[in-house]
Amino acid sequence: HTDISSDRPLRPYDEALELWSTFQQKTQPLSQSLSSQLRLILAPTQSTKLSGSFRTGKRLNIKKIIPYIASSYKRDKIWMRRAIPSKRAYQILLCVDDSSSMSDENRSSSGHLALESLVMVARALTILESGQIGVLGFGEDVFVAHSLTDPSFSSHDAGARVLQKFTFASQGTDMVKLLRATIDNFREARLTQASSPGGEDLWQLALILSDGLVQSRDHARLRPLLREAMEQRVMVVFIVMDDVRDKKGHSVLELKEARFGADGMPVVRRYLDSFPFEYYLIVHDLEDLPGALAGVLRGWFAEVNA
């Protein structure tokens, strides 16, 4: 496990409890909306494909007719039926950026927006009631704030204990460590799930809630890890917390980076141009999140089921 957390600073329990119940109440309609959109996406898709060989069924399998006659009508499994769609189980890791670029100290409200989003999404998944939810925190290091096998977020207490662990004081943002820990966590979780029945169609999703500020030199190091995640059938969605309501021009969408080129001349380009995540959303306002997230997931499912 990646938990190295005994000396981490903690938010006072009472404050965390208050925060959880305030956010839960405030985001209740959004949680409901996200939950019902996810239910539609996760519902087993009605299979329209006919297959197999049965004594009764929906349509004759033409290829079986001649052997049927040749066998004096003994080999009579000549019918096809609709394949039975399988039910999807899911494991979701919410990965929350605990680094200090997210904090008020750096004039950022991303931390606040990330915690609100965490509560909203965790509640939506709890209402959905058919999978496991975990929470990872990351900064200089990665820690497990809520493991996939911990009890769900139906009680405020479970939620408060998670919020306690986020103080936005970490002095680095190590996305490489986060992806490594996410892939390892899911690999382990898949093994435990596979031993129980119905573990075949397991859907593993990591949602990263962050201001999106990663050292650009790490972008290239993230690519092979994102490929590895894809090969492990882990979907990674980056949700950029970009609260810019009263700060015009401060959006990560506008953010540029300056370097000196080989000729020694300054070069300025858009930060997001080298951002390595294939699936990412920019959220300015919590209200946008349920629809945007459902949209990305719907697109992804359409792609993998195509």
Partner 1 sequence: MDEPMHDAPGAQVKVTFTTNEADLQLPEEKRQLLVPADIRRYGLSRILNSDLMLDSGSIPFDFLVNGSFLRSSLEDYLNSEGLSLETNLTLQYVRSLIPPVFEASF
Stretch that binds Mg ion, among 42-50, 78-86, 93-101, 295-303 (CB under 5 A): 93-101
Q: What whole-number distance in Å separates Cα of residue 94 and Cα of residue 11?
A: 19
Site string for partner 1, 51-90 (x = CB under 8 A): ----------------------------------------
Q: Judged by CB under 5 A, does residue 110 bind Mg ion?
A: no
Site string for partner 1, 84-123 (x = CB under 8 A): ---------------xxx----xxx---------------
Q: What whole-number distance in Å separates Cα of residue 241 and Cα of residue 207?
A: 12
Nearest to 97 by CA among 38, 167, 35, 19: 167
Query: Residue 24 binds which one of Mg ion, partner 1, none, with CB within 5 to 8 A depending on kind?
Result: none
Query: Residue 63 binds which one of partner 1, Mg ion, none, with CB within 5 to 8 A depending on kind?
Result: none
| Distances from the Cα of 59 to the Cα of 49, 79, 83, 236, 267, angstroms | 11, 6, 13, 41, 65
Q: What whole-number distance in Å separates Cα of residue 231 and Cα of residue 225?
A: 10
Nearest to 8 by CA among 113, 137, 110: 137
Query: Residue 2 binds which one of Mg ion, partner 1, none, with CB within 5 to 8 A depending on kind?
Result: none
Q: Judged by CB under 8 A, does residue 216 bind partner 1?
A: yes
Least distance (Å) from partner 1 to the CB of residue 145?
20
Q: What whole-number distance in Å separates Cα of residue 97 and Cα of residue 108?
A: 13
Q: Judged by CB under 5 A, does residue 31 bind Mg ion?
A: no
